[in-house]
Amino acid sequence: MIFALCVFYYFCLPQHLFKDPTATVITSNTDKLLGALIAEDGQWRFPESDSIPSKFKTCILQFEDEYFYKHPGFNPISIFKAIKGNLSSGSIKRGGSTITQQVIRLSRKGQSRTYFEKLKELILATRLELRMSKDNILKLYASHAPFGGNVVGVDAASWRYFNRNATDLSWAESATLAVLPNAPSLIYPGKNQKKLLEKRNRLLKKLLNNGTIDLLTYNLSIAESLPQKPYPLPQIAPHLLQKIARKNRGKRIKTTVDIALQEQTNTIVKQHYSLLKQNEIYNISVLILNVNTREILTYIGNSPTDKAHQKSVDIIDKPRSTGSILKPFLYASMLDAGDLLPHTLVADVPTQFGSYQPENFNKSYDGAVHANEALSRSLNVPAVRMLQDFGLDRFYHYLKALRLKDLKYNANHYGLSLILGGAESNLWDLCKSYAGMASTLNHFNENSSQYFKNEFCQPTYKFNVPVDFGKPSQEKQIFDAASIYLTFESMKQVNRPESDESWEFYNSSQDIAWKTGTSFGFRDAWAIGTTKNYVVGVWVGNADGEGRPGLVGVQTSAPILFDVFDVLPKSNWFTKPYDEMLEVSICKKSGYRASVICDAVEERYIQISGQKTEPCPYHTLLHLDTSEQFQVNSSCESVSNITNKPWFVLPPLQAYYYKNKNPFYKVAPPVRTDCGEANSVFMAFIYPNQQSTIFLPKDFNGNTNDLILKVAHSKPQLQLYWYVDNLFVGHTKDIHDMAVSPSPGDHVITVIDELGNEIKHKITISE
């Protein structure tokens, strides 16, 4: 019988006393509350805390159970006094329960308060004392005691009634909470304030009498007012809370978020939202990463808008059109593969690939532009031409290595528009990729020119859960350090918003490698920037995809980006990775490796893979007369009178646009009339150029405007003869523009110069 009773006693207490659902709570990296999601049963019940605030602990012991650390789970003297008082009054007036017994009663919800139930509580309380330490029992009580309304536990109560952490409560506030579990209905706003005040002050008087607090503290404490209404819990990072709750419902998660930075960024976003909403732009998201730890320091999933504009949508992980934000990856890929040097000239002329005709944002062309300048100015045509030259599949391979989860289709599905926003990605993946590039460069310089095998790992928002960068390796993961450094050097030159135009003249400014992007139809505006230590990503737009005039990356997202960088600690610029670079002679004008006839050469550091690029193709050795005004040859000039001079010569179509923006560009001198044509002649259509269908607009009188044909010729002084469908329409000299009025339908444009060179182009005139 004794053995059976012992077995029963051993197993009488459930393994888990409390199975109530708890609120999801997230805190900052310094344990400050960022937000909480109410428990599934509608109660503000925080997960059990690891500690009890010292002031509350003192108050609850003095009020509820002075002998808590001395009794075995029940207090015989208190029980005797309670029985005596209840018998004399004829009703239950006093319980005599210890805190341990109250923990048992809280776990056995809804049980009637009878002597038999008290006996059960007493037995279970002694069993609980044998299982757990006194401090752990006290933690259970503090976490599950009722504090009025739907508030359970001291942690939730301190935020609901005093809007601060329980460890920051005053003696008066701690005393107020200590008396509430005994009579939680006293806290209701506007009711029982006098009774609650009396109970609180009696407890404070007791603390004064036993020497816990001094007279000054007592006087200040009783002068404090009672809470008048519940406070809403902080919602400093609401979208991160929702993200965490999806996999960690009901848990307390300590995050990597820097609460000061989060609040500062919230203020910045709120200020910009107030301006942007006047243009009916309602949504903003911002993500800040620590490059070195890959920790998330700030997470803003959306602006403080309203429900009508998708306030609850977390846009950070939602796929959006990328615009130009992928261009740095193409530039880095071409550098890494050795297909490009930073200053190489790339063509910027009207271009058409089948039915696809990319255009620069400003609708103008440079003819030829250095690759790094094309990136910093975000020129579309050079980017598409570079992608065409590099290869769509090769670039797609690099993007897949970055693990951009929204690239769900094959390369041919996106086509060449991939580089201008034909694909989708999200702020999380893009910031992760930029952070991976910065981290690759940092690790290379800090670890004896070694890479790590998992540089492009996922960021973390959980505190003390470090990311795994993998083992050191001599092999790059995606891009080599030199290609990344040269890419960042180009991105550093991007023109900043008007408010930061003269940033380089201020000592407080810092170098930032950054890029903007704007999707087709002005639906998405991006800005992502990185320093040695931080990556900041910003997206602006409308969650429902509505485009708005002025929704451009440099105008809407970039100002937010630089406002955020202004509140971040300043970072030094990246160290040049000399072990992955070599110094070579570069042609100043073309940016290619200098050939033997380049007339202006400079020494530059390039990536090692860049040494396989071809020498400058734009410098030609011309044979000139003594005046250097004409090209000559041995048939018309004595060899002793011929001067050989290197000359920078662009193809005619590139030269046509290039000389408009480069006044010092000199076209090659013409061949002297008494000399035979020894050099090739080049000509090409400027307009139409690769176009097949042309729409002719009408004027205010309803008359169809003329079609203006344009041709670039390497020897503009030659006369050109123009034909439409073999019908002669005129001739030009020096300036080769011809106005024609073709009828709707298909036509063939033919141009012949006086030397007999011919070009043709088929067009369709549409009404």
- State pLDDT tens for residues 382-439: 999 999 999 999 999 999 999 999 999 999 999 999 999 999 999 999 999 999 999 9
Model pLDDT, residue 157:
93
Considering only CA atoms, which of 419, 370, 420, 371 is closest in space to residue 398?
A: 419
Model pLDDT, residue 241:
96
* 471 vs 735, more confident: 471
What is the pTM for the complete model shown?
A: 0.84
Query: Which residues, other chains included, contact 130 with Cβ-Cβ below 8 Å and sequence gap of 6+?
Result: none
Rounded to an integer, what is the distance from CA 219 to the centroid of its chain?
52
Pairing mode of beta strands 758-766, 693-695: parallel
pLDDT at 13 over 70: yes
Grouping H, G, I as helix, E, B as strand and the rest as coil, residue 150 is coil
For residues 496 and 558, the answer to whether their CB atoms sit within 8 Å is yes
Gap between the Cα atoms of 513 and 494, Å rounded: 8
Please state which of the ranges 103-112, 234-243, 588-597, 737-746 shows the lowest mean pLDDT: 103-112
> What torsion, rounded to 10 degrees, do the Cα atoms 478, 481, 483, 489 define?
130
In terms of DSSP H, where are the helices of 558-643?
558-567
Position 542 confidence tier, pLDDT thresholds 50, 70, 90: very high
Query: Which residues, other chains included, contact 407 with Cβ-Cβ below 8 Å and sequence gap of 6+?
Result: 396, 399, 400, 423, 424, 425
Model pLDDT, residue 14:
78
Model pLDDT, residue 505:
43
Model pLDDT, residue 348:
93
Model pLDDT, residue 691:
65
- DSSP string covering 480-530: -HHHHHHHHHHHTTSPPPGGGTTGGG-TT----EEEEEE-TTS-EEEEEEE
Gap between the Cα atoms of 617 and 599, Å rounded: 13
Model pLDDT, residue 631:
86
Considering only CA atoms, which of 479, 467, 478, 469 is closest in space to residue 447?
A: 469
pLDDT at 150 over 80: yes
Please state which of the ranges 219-223, 435-439, 604-608, 666-670 shows the lowest mean pLDDT: 666-670
Considering only CA atoms, which of 474, 463, 399, 453 is closest in space to residue 430?
A: 399
Q: What is the mean pLDDT of the chain?
A: 88
pLDDT at 588 over 50: yes
Query: Which residues, other chains included, contact 363 with Cβ-Cβ below 8 Å and sequence gap of 6+?
Result: none
Percent with pLDDT over 90 in the chain: 58
Grouping H, G, I as helix, E, B as strand and the rest as coil, residue 68 is coil
Gap between the Cα atoms of 346 and 367, Å rounded: 9
Model pLDDT, residue 678:
46
pLDDT at 262 over 90: yes
In terms of DSSP H, where are the helices of 237-379?
238-245, 259-276, 327-337, 371-376
Side-chain-facing half-sphere of 374: CA atoms under 13 Å:
32
Model pLDDT, residue 507:
46
Gap between the Cα atoms of 65 and 696, Å rounded: 93
Cite the beta strand spans of 625-726 per DSSP E. Answer: 643-648, 683-687, 693-695, 707-713, 719-724
Q: What is the mean pLDDT of residues 445-452?
A: 92
Model pLDDT, residue 651:
84
Position 189 confidence tier, pLDDT thresholds 50, 70, 90: low
Position 165 confidence tier, pLDDT thresholds 50, 70, 90: very high
Look-up of token digits 């900052």: 28
Q: Which residues pair with 742 in a beta bridge?
A: none
pLDDT at 46 over 60: yes
Gap between the Cα atoms of 586 and 615, Å rounded: 9
pLDDT at 120 over 90: no
Cα–Cα distances (Å) from 279 to 210, 282, 499, in that order, read: 65, 9, 20
Which long-range contacts link 468-474 to residues 24+ away (Cβ below 8 Å)? 469/439, 469/443, 472/447, 474/450
Question: Each residue of 342-365: pLDDT tens digit?
Answer: 999 999 988 877 667 888 888 889
Gap between the Cα atoms of 398 and 479, Å rounded: 9
Considering only CA atoms, which of 653, 714, 617 is closest in space to residue 349?
A: 653
- DSSP string covering 22-44: --EEEE-TTS-EEEEE--TTS-E
Model pLDDT, residue 694:
82
Q: What is the mean pLDDT of residues 455-466?
A: 93
Model pLDDT, residue 583:
94
Model pLDDT, residue 79:
63
Model pLDDT, residue 677:
57
For residues 649 and 618, the answer to whether their CB atoms sit within 8 Å is yes
Percentages of the chain per state (helix, strand, coil), in multiples of 5: 35, 20, 45
pLDDT at 28 over 60: yes
Model pLDDT, residue 87:
60
Domain annotation for the chain: domains and CATH numbers: 12-222 (1.10.3810.10), 320-495 (3.40.710.10), 581-612 (no CATH), 683-766 (2.60.40.10)
Residue type, 345: L
Model pLDDT, residue 84:
62
Pairing mode of beta strands 534-541, 283-290: antiparallel
Question: Each residue of 520-530: pLDDT tens digit?
Answer: 899 999 999 99
Model pLDDT, residue 345:
95
pLDDT at 83 over 70: no
For residues 624 and 669, the answer to whether their CB atoms sit within 8 Å is yes
